[in-house]
Amino acid sequence: MDDIGIMGKVAVVTGAAHGIGAAIAFAFAERGARVAALDCDRDALRSTVESIVDKGQQATGYPVDVRDSATVDQVVDEVERDLGPIGILANVAGVLRTGPILDLTDEDFAAMFAVNTYGTFYVCRSVARRMRPRRHGAIVVVGSNAGSVPRMHMGAYGASKAATSSFAKSLGLELAGSGIRCNVVSPGSTDTDMLRGMWANGSGERRTILGTPEHFRVGIPLGKLGTPSDVAEAVVFLASELAGHITMHDLCVDGGAALGA
Ligand SMILES: NC(=O)c1ccc[n+]([C@@H]2O[C@H](COP(=O)([O-])OP(=O)(O)OC[C@H]3O[C@@H](n4cnc5c(N)ncnc54)[C@H](O)[C@@H]3O)[C@@H](O)[C@H]2O)c1
């Protein structure tokens, strides 16, 4: 396999136990990265790491709750002690609660910001503080197309993702002079537990693809759900040297569902 600047790098992936984060961990490991897989779900994290190692590739699991900034710092320290300087960071850990805005509790709203926004900030800050003096590194933040298009019953989630995407672009600006790139990948409906958890019945997939006019949702022009691997390939591209002159970009991977917004 051609080296696109991933081989031998230490790649931190948060949310690596399930879904899109696991696919990203697999994709980096396949390209020869030494993956530090971070997640709060210990058992699932162990099984993702074992699957990577069973293939003869490199991954180490670090259980962590990204909502806890002190623990995030300790784990980032531990990763660098164990594996060496972090060259790539993919922030993927995220949570979704749905419901009309007027029905959301204080706790619902805070819970989404705690992981999607604050957690991403804690991990980015900790890793970028170490990358900056080395003047080397690539950061990718997984947002959502719901951060740029209003979605019924996803108001708090979309707001948490919009905040994260804005923060990531400012981080890219502040780190550009140090040669560090920071980009966003915004998936649309991607076939994971998170998406399936939103479906009330067996027609969920069909309705997602065709759209739901009663919710002013247009559907997916490419006529299919995204796969975790579709998103992972976009993250790998932005983390690689193929994207060496790209920073502060938001790459939407949604089959056209946001109509390019
Ligand atoms: N699936 C979709 O349709 C979709 C669409 C747009 C954006 N996204 C985003 O993609 C990312 C991955 O989503 P997914 O679909 O794979 O979801 P998922 O629920 O399958 O995986 C999310 C992962 O994040 C981890 N996590 C949650 N809270 C955490 C915490 N406090 N600390 C550490 N880890 C934590 C979970 O344990 C899990 O492994 C999320 O940021 C999500 O918002 C998903």
For ligand 1, is residue 17 a contact (CB within 6 Å)? yes
- Ligand 1 atom nearest the C-alpha of 225 is 3
93 lines ligand 1 (CB under 6 A): yes
Q: What is the C-alpha to C-alpha distance for residues 32 and 240, in angstroms, rounded to an integer? A: 12
Domain ranges of the chain: 10-252
pLDDT of residue 200: 85
Is residue 258 within 8 A of residue 145, CB to CB? The reply is: yes
- In this structure, the number of other CB atoms found within 10 A of the CB of residue 259 comes to 11
Closest CA to 241 of 74, 87, 80: 87
Which atom number of ligand 1 is nearest to the Cα of residue 41?
37
Q: Is the pLDDT of residue 1 over 80?
A: no
Percent of the chain with pLDDT over 90: 97
**pTM of the complete model:** 0.98
What are the tens digits of pLDDT across the range 15-57?
Answer: 999 999 999 999 999 999 999 999 999 999 999 999 999 999 9
Q: Is 119 in the pocket of ligand 1 (CB under 6 A)?
A: yes
Mean pLDDT calculated for residue range 76-83:
98
Residue 197: pLDDT band with limits 50, 70, 90: very high
- Across the range 152-158, mean pLDDT stands at 97
Mutate to test the pocket of ligand 1, among 126, 160, 192 (most ligand atoms within 8 A of CB): 192
SS3 content of the chain, % helix, strand, coil (to 5): 50, 15, 35
Ligand 1 geometric centre to CA of 115 (Å): 9
Structure tokens at 35: 């993956």
How far is 49 from 61, CA to CA, in rounded Å? Answer: 6
Q: Which tokens sit at 59?
A: 């991954």
Superfamily assignment of 10-252 in CATH? NAD(P)-binding Rossmann-like Domain (3.40.50.720)
